[in-house]
Amino acid sequence: DAGITQSPRHKVTETGTPVTLRCHQTENHRYMYWYRQDPGHGLRLIHYSYGVKDTDKGEVSDGYSVSRSKTEDFLLTLESATSSQTSVYFCAISTGTGRRNTEAFFGQGTRLTVV
């Protein structure tokens, strides 16, 4: 394993509640990403970070926010959960060193169900 821990691994929450997912890495990698995976859509980028306090939006960022106050932690917040946010969420990290930056290591995923 690449030293990535996602928490929680499973969560059921109610519509309209805020939810925060945590990604913790022990690799000191510069880049961190949040993806969601849904049938028929593959992995879609929500937000990513290229350093502490440096974040940017991905292709499906509406309804999500992120924060990175330390190199090792990248938090994803669903501001007001909706049923369309029921998904499997993956955190990934990469080194940011030249060509090898394209190699991403993934966490085990968080299964989120919004009821």
Partner 1 sequence: QKEVEQDPGPLSVPEGAIVSLNCTYSNSAFQYFMWYRQYSRKGPELLMYTYSSGNKEDGRFTAQVDKSSKYISLFIRDSQPSDSATYLCAMTGMDSSYKLIFGSGTRLLVRP
DSSP assignment of 60-106 equals: T-TTEEEEEEETTEEEEEESS--GGG-EEEEEEEE--SGGGGG--EE
Does position 108 interact with partner 1 (CB under 8 A)? The reply is yes
Q: How far apart are CA 79 and CA 65, in angstroms?
A: 7
Residues 6-25 contacting partner 1, CB under 8 A: none
**Contact map string, positions 58 to 97, toward partner 1, x by CB under 8 A:** x-------------------------------x-x-x-x-
Does position 56 interact with partner 1 (CB under 8 A)? The reply is yes
Among 94, 102, 101, 108, which residue's Cα sits nearest to residue 37?
108
Which positions touch partner 1 (CB under 8 A)?
A: 31, 33, 35, 40-45, 48, 50, 56, 58, 90, 92, 94, 96, 99, 101-109
